[in-house]
Amino acid sequence: MSRATTPVYSGAQIRDAETPLVEAGAGPDMMRRAAHGLASYVLALLRSDGKIYGARVLGLIGPGNNGGDGLYALTALRARGVDAQAVLVADRAHPQALEAFRAAGGRVLSSVPADTQVLIDAVLGTGARGAFTLPDVPGLAEAVGTSTVVACDIPSGVDADTGRCPGEALTAEHTVTFGGAKLGLLLGEGGLRSGKIHTVDIGLQEHLPEPAAWELISPEPTRRKPRLGDHKYSRGSLQVVAGSPQFPGAAQLTVGSAITSGVGMVRLQADATVSAAVLQGWPEAVMSHGRGAKAFDGATAAAIGPGLGKDRSRLVEGETMLRATVESKVPCVLDASGLELLRGDLLTSGDLGGQLILTPHLGEARRLAEALEDESLEELLADQPDTLAATRALAEALGATVLLKGPSTVVAGPSGGAPLVVRSATPGLATAGTGDVLTGIIGALLATADAAQEQDWVRIAAEGARMHAAAAQRLDPQGFGHFGASALIGALRE
Ligand SMILES: NC(=O)C1=CN([C@@H]2O[C@H](COP(=O)(O)OP(=O)(O)OC[C@H]3O[C@@H](n4cnc5c(N)ncnc54)[C@H](OP(=O)(O)O)[C@@H]3O)[C@@H](O)[C@H]2O)[C@@H](O)CC1
Ligand SMILES: [K+]
């Protein structure tokens, strides 16, 4: 993997890597490094907030090693003059860490002081099992609202493997995590509760296995740039089947975002009204008059689905085009109503090919699972979805690449390589039409790509999601959500 990506591990992978080191007696050293990393991070937060000496920090301490990390971090903070105290939420705490904390003058309180500036959540880490109930500590609920919550390793209540929260959970603005980023910090509800993630090296690196996933954090270096000598055909041409009289805007957004993402030519197959509307905004778009597979001649990729709605003739055109791409193995992105074309043999072949990229949101993925009559997949997509496992399972069942949209988008190929994750936690993206923009971006990337293998399609789809999220971030850094899908197109240029 390139440096554009960083590894992400399951909680179990991190624990398995730690076990032999703990058995060899390195546990205390690792805990000291973890605590030092956490204390340094909190000190930096306090410094940026004005002062360190006398600043009020409270550690919420659980019964295991996570609580031990918290207590050692409080001890280190005390050495720097921070007024760091603890509340023990269980009837026991890491004995050596508690002793060190007390020896440094730390006190165990029975409530959370109202003037707490930073609240360290060191209740549960990777040893959490089953549902969590928030501790009944006076002042805690208020402090959660007024102080900066920093999670030690992972917010308590979040499952480190999946991001699921089987019971209650704490929400952090920052998470200082040890040894490697955990899936639970990125995925599902965990992705909404972990805030900014900072990883501390505790000496595990060489003991870690292949990661369970990779996070794409900066532009994919393999993305094709125009070359001297290129012409409009050599730069790829994208065939779009989008829009219907009811949803002409979907075609505009798909075509416009494809053009803006950089492709030799974008051709649209649509009726006269939709074509006219698109041409007004995007005069460089080319209208293809052929019908069915004929319109597809010479295109290097296709984008099918946005805004076809329930329009029968448009859906038939979409299906003809989809079959043509699957048969010829030409890359294609399928979204929105296009996903409903996956019926009969298209649903059950199990071998559509990695070059076909499906981009469902959770609801669309659930409908696909239902159509597949796959109960275990439905279970993975239920109330608290396991988005990583679900994306992999859906990709495997259909034999296609699947990009499951959400606050963290997951992309998996059909034959089980490590999925890519893109954090797109920009709530402003939750508006009508932003999915059509993503389809256009991925279509353009597919049309211009020098791609041939499964992992290439996974990377292209993830790069599309990253560009989409980065555009939203540029447009709306404060997260007010004051933008629509068309504005996103204007913000695509990096
Ligand atoms: N291994 C290492 O050397 C290193 C580990 N490190 C750190 O240790 C953390 C892992 O520590 P850990 O294994 O002690 O587990 P931890 O998360 O503290 O919780 C276990 C305790 O919680 C309890 N409990 C469980 N579920 C519960 C629930 N739902 N609700 C309530 N209670 C529940 C459980 O009780 P039990 O089930 O045993 O009765 C047990 O007492 C890891 O995240 C990292 O921070 C780093 O310092 C690097 C070196
Ligand atoms: K924690």
Residue 74 and residue 120 in contact, taking contact as beta carbons nearer than 8 Å: yes
Closest residue to atom 19 of ligand 1, CA basis: 127
Q: Which residues pair with 333 in a beta bridge?
A: 303, 357
State the pLDDT at residue 228: 87
Closest residue to atom 13 of ligand 1, CA basis: 127
In what side-by-side order are the strands of the sheet with 213-216? 181-182, 5-9, 213-216, 420-423, 408-412, 400-404, 353-358, 332-334, 301-304, 237-241, 265-269, 286-287
Nearest-5° Cα angle at 368, 429 to 340:
80
Phi and psi at residue 341, to the nearest 5°: -75, -15
Residue 472 and residue 453 in contact, taking contact as beta carbons nearer than 8 Å: no
State the pLDDT at residue 292: 59
Stated as kind and residue range, the H or E segment containing 14 is helix 11-23
Phi and psi at residue 373, to the nearest 5°: 50, 45
The rounded distance, in Å, linking the Cα atoms of 383 and 327 is 36
The distance from CA 31 to its chain's CA centroid, rounded to whole angstroms, is: 29
Ligand 1: centre distance to CA 72 (Å) = 15
- Residue count (the chain): 494
To 10 degrees, what angle do helices 454-475 and 434-448 make?
Answer: 140
Name which of 317, 152, 330 is nearest 238 in CA terms: 330
Stated as kind and residue range, the H or E segment containing 367 is helix 362-371
The rounded distance, in Å, linking the Cα atoms of 407 and 76 is 35
Q: Which of 66, 175, 177, 194 to mutate to test the pocket of ligand 1 (most atoms within 8 A of CB)?
A: 66
Burial-class residue 245 by CB neighbours within 10 Å (0-12, 13-18, 19+): middle
Burial-class residue 32 by CB neighbours within 10 Å (0-12, 13-18, 19+): middle
Residue 489 and residue 256 in contact, taking contact as beta carbons nearer than 8 Å: yes
Domains and CATH numbers, the chain: 5-211 (3.40.50.10260), 237-490 (3.40.1190.20)
ipTM score assigned to the predicted complex: 0.98
Ligand 2: centre distance to CA 151 (Å) = 5
Closest residue to atom 9 of ligand 1, CA basis: 66
Name which of 241, 34, 59, 26 is nearest 147 in CA terms: 59
Digitized pLDDT (tens) for each residue of the chain, 494 residues in all: 568 999 999 999 999 999 999 999 999 999 999 999 999 999 999 999 888 999 999 999 999 999 999 999 999 999 999 999 999 999 999 999 999 999 999 999 999 999 999 999 999 999 999 999 999 999 999 999 999 999 999 999 999 999 999 999 999 999 999 999 999 999 999 999 999 999 999 999 999 999 999 999 988 877 788 888 888 888 899 999 999 999 999 999 999 999 999 999 999 999 899 999 999 999 999 998 666 556 567 899 999 999 999 999 999 999 999 999 999 999 999 999 999 999 999 999 999 999 999 999 999 999 999 999 999 999 999 989 999 999 999 999 999 999 999 989 999 999 889 999 999 767 788 888 999 999 999 999 999 988 778 889 999 999 999 999 999 999 998 888 889 999 999 999 87
Q: Which residues pair with 149 in a beta bridge?
A: 119
Q: Which residues are annotated as a binding site for K(+)?
A: 66, 121, 156
Helix (H, G, I), strand (E, B) or coil at 20: helix
- Of the ligands numbered here, which is closest to the C-alpha atom of 24? 1
- Of the ligands numbered here, which is closest to the C-alpha atom of 128? 1
| Ligand 1 atom at minimal distance to the Cα of residue 179 | 48
> Which amino acids bring their CB within 6 angstroms of ligand 1?
18, 22, 27, 30-31, 34, 62-67, 69, 124-132, 152-153, 178, 202
Ligand 1: centre distance to CA 63 (Å) = 7
Helix (H, G, I), strand (E, B) or coil at 117: coil
Residue type, 16: D
Eight-class DSSP state of 296:
G
Q: How far is CA 220 from CA 2, 169, 177, in A?
A: 8, 34, 25
Q: Which residues have their alpha-adjacent CB atom under 5 A from ion ligand 2?
A: 121, 151-152, 156
Q: Which of 36, 126, 137, 150 to mutate to test the pocket of ligand 1 (most atoms within 8 A of CB)?
A: 126
| Ligand 1 atom at minimal distance to the Cα of residue 19 | 1
Ligand 2: centre distance to CA 152 (Å) = 4
Helix (H, G, I), strand (E, B) or coil at 206: helix
The tokens for 181 are: 């980023």
State the pLDDT at residue 294: 64
Q: Which of 72, 123, 124, 164 to mutate to test the pocket of ligand 1 (most atoms within 8 A of CB)?
A: 124
Q: Which of 129, 137, 161 to mutate to test the pocket of ligand 1 (most atoms within 8 A of CB)?
A: 129
Residue type, 471: A
State the pLDDT at residue 425: 65
